[in-house]
Amino acid sequence: MQILYKSDPQRGALWQQWLAQHAPDIQLHLWPETGDPQAIEIAIVWQPPEKLTETFPNLKALLSVGAGADQFDLAALPPDLPVVRMIEPGLTQGMVEYVTFAVLGIHRDMPRYLQQQRAAQWQAHSVRPAATRRVGVMGLGELGQAALRQLVSLGFDCAGWSRTPRQLDGVQCFHGAAQMGAFLARSDILVCLLPLTAETRGLLNRDLFAQLPPGAALVQAGRGAQLNSQDLLAALDGGQLAAAVIDVTDPEPLPPSHPFWRHPAIWLTPHIASQTQNESAVAALLENLRRYQRGEPMVGLIDRARGY
């Protein structure tokens, strides 16, 4: 089977080697080398090449090397072309670590202590037990569920919000627009792990921040276009929010003049919350390719109607 890879070349070279060893029937072509374009059945990419389906007329599926597939213009792809995102344990574990770091950092007042340190100010604030800190995770998919398992094990008072009803051990679950207000009202730390869709674009805005308890904090590890930057700055400066840990922005990178770089209540990281891990991901890729060969649905299939 002939596969096209177009993303980080170093990862591509590793995957090519690994597949040659573990699945010699599968040949990975590293863009811009494509072999015979007519023979390419699967493309695994971050950004697809232009004229994808014209160049590779026998393409049977488009796979994302990342957890999201929002970088694809789904409307421009043939409606029956399966689009698949990456689900692999290394990527999930990375997000668990990032969310845990951010929630613990906020819970233990680290943004405030960092500001105090810069001002040479030795001042203790009372330490709250995790059980009294209400954490709300938006998005109860692969990443949200894994992050919540860790947060529950640390003793936080956890809730989650999804589009359709979910049940998770130790987590108060909310769903849909009708239950969003109740979910937000009990979220001292709000974590966004939503995919970018028409419904979630711009969702983290002034109206939403106003529904959080005063002094709440935000952890944004979804996608940059979900957050209204000006509304976040206003909520921080007005005291409605106390802190924000931001991993994703719009655009990426932010221009040097953007206030996020220097705002004392913002911790900004350059879209590193989680990354596809070469070794675990290539094993997950191979498993999905075998599923395809057996005629089974691949893991991580995007539902084109709902957009994620």
Residue 159 · residue 187 · CB < 8 Å: yes
Residue 184 · residue 208 · CB < 8 Å: yes
| Count of residues that interact with ligand NAP, criterion CB under 6 A | 30
**Cα 143 from Cα 302, distance rounded (Å):** 15
200 binds, among ligand NAP, ligand GLV, none (CB under 5 to 8 A by kind): ligand NAP
Indicate the helix (H) or strand (E) that contains 209. helix 206-210
The closest alpha carbon to 42, from 88, 70, 84, 103, belongs to 84
* Residue 209 interacts with ligand NAP (CB under 6 A): yes or no: no
Residue 166 annotated in active site: no
Among the listed residues 163, 166, 271, 291, the single catalytic one is 271
Q: Which of 21, 123, 126, 164 binds ligand NAP (CB under 6 A)?
A: 164
* Residue 67 interacts with ligand GLV (CB under 6 A): yes or no: yes
Residue 223 annotated in active site: yes
Residue 216 · residue 242 · CB < 8 Å: yes
* Residue 143 interacts with ligand NAP (CB under 6 A): yes or no: yes
Instruction: Determine the straight-line distance between the first and last CA of the chain, rounded to whole angstroms.
Output: 27
* Residue 278 interacts with ligand GLV (CB under 6 A): yes or no: no
Residue nearest to ligand NAP (CB): 141
* Residue 263 interacts with ligand NAP (CB under 6 A): yes or no: no
**Position 196: which residue type?**
L
Helix/strand/coil for 36:
coil
- Closer of 135 and 194 to ligand NAP (Cβ): 194
Q: Interface with ligand GLV by CB under 6 A: which range of 13-21, 24-32, 64-72, 180-188?
A: 64-72
Least distance in angstroms from the C-beta of 144 to ligand NAP = 5
Q: Which two tokens stand for residue 306?
A: 């709902």
Which residue(s) pair with 22 in the sheet? none
* Residue 235 interacts with ligand NAP (CB under 6 A): yes or no: no
> Which residue is it, tokens 């028409």?
198
Neighbours of 192 (CB within 10 A): 25
Residue 173 · residue 186 · CB < 8 Å: no
Binding string, residues 35-74; x marks residues near ligand NAP by CB under 6 A? --------------------------------xx------
* Residue 66 interacts with ligand GLV (CB under 6 A): yes or no: yes
276 binds, among ligand GLV, ligand NAP, none (CB under 5 to 8 A by kind): ligand GLV
Which residue(s) pair with 220 in the sheet? 192, 246
**Cα 47 from Cα 136, distance rounded (Å):** 32
The closest alpha carbon to 226, from 195, 252, 253, 255, belongs to 195
* Residue 68 interacts with ligand GLV (CB under 6 A): yes or no: yes
Q: Which of 108, 112, 149, 166 binds ligand NAP (CB under 6 A)?
A: 166
Least distance in angstroms from the C-beta of 85 to ligand GLV = 7
Active-site residues: which are they? 223, 271
Contacting positions for ligand NAP (CB under 6 A): 67-68, 95, 139-144, 161-164, 166, 193-197, 199-200, 221-223, 247-248, 271, 273-274, 308
